[in-house]
Amino acid sequence: MGGCLGRIGSRKGNDIGNTGEDSSGHTGEGKRLKMVKIEAYHDGEFWCARGIGEDIFTQGETLDELIANIKESVTLHFDGIEP
């Protein structure tokens, strides 16, 4: 039904893809990142995504819009959380 789009870091400006952290989650910059697994699917009208194990849900009319909305949703979800 869905699939994982990629790994998204929980800090602003991080793209989907390799977050650059080592196996402990450290980036080498003194910041920790959290991996969020995302399930994406098309419901017949919109592309939808939900965070597995996180209270995150978003949608978009295109995959590009969905990816942008995922980045925004993850950033907002983890905003203000200190490592």
Q: Where are the alpha helices (DSSP H) in 1-83?
A: 63-78
Residue type (1 letter), 22: D
Contact 33, 21 (CB under 8 A): yes
Residue 61 has pLDDT above 50, yes or no: yes
- Residue 10 in any domain: the answer is yes
State the total domains in the chain. Answer: 1
83 falls within a domain:
no
Residue 21: is its pLDDT beyond 50? no
Find the domain containing 70 and state its range. 3-78
pLDDT for the residue 79: 84
Interval 69-83 mean pLDDT: 80
Q: Over 90: is that where the pLDDT of 69 sits?
A: yes
Residue 63, in any domain of the structure: yes
* 33 is a domain residue: yes
- Does the model's pTM come out above 0.85? no
Task: Band the pLDDT of 49: cuts 50, 70, 90.
Answer: very high
